[in-house]
Amino acid sequence: MKLSHSFTAHITPETFITSYNNGDCQCCSFIDDGETVTIGFGTDCLTKLTETIRTLQQIHQSLSQKRQQQISQELELLNPPINLNGNGKHQVEVDIAF
């Protein structure tokens, strides 16, 4: 691996992703806020491309599960559970003055 710089790039919803052929190298660029990060793969590193794809799929699965949990928690806050009495029927309290 040849790096020009060592850094961390955070992909955001605004990040533009593109791919292109650069001679013997296939590249993928991530462009956001005037900055560009490009990764490239040649025919000699197909196994690393496969490993990268698998890693990204694992990240996708993990983040999808986390988002599903967040949605479930948000739904619980919006729709609190209904109180049931001992016989499984809804329990309602009514205050009537005579």
Is 43 part of any domain? yes
Q: Is residue 20 part of a domain?
A: yes
Q: Is residue 37 part of a domain?
A: yes
Residue 51 lies in a domain: yes
Q: Which residues have a Cβ under 8 Å from the Cβ of 16 and sit 6 or more positions away?
A: 30, 31, 32
Number of domains in the chain: 1
pLDDT tens, 1-28? 777 778 888 999 999 999 999 888 999 9
The verdict on residue 92 lying in a domain is no
Quick check: 44 pLDDT over 80?
yes
Structural domain includes residue 98: no
pTM: 0.68
In 3D space, the residue among 1, 9, 3, 58 whose CA is nearest the CA of residue 29 turns out to be 9
Q: Which residue has the higher pLDDT, 78 or 65?
A: 65
Q: 88 pLDDT band (50/70/90 cuts)? A: low
Any domain includes 83: no
Q: Which domain holds residue 67?
A: 16-78
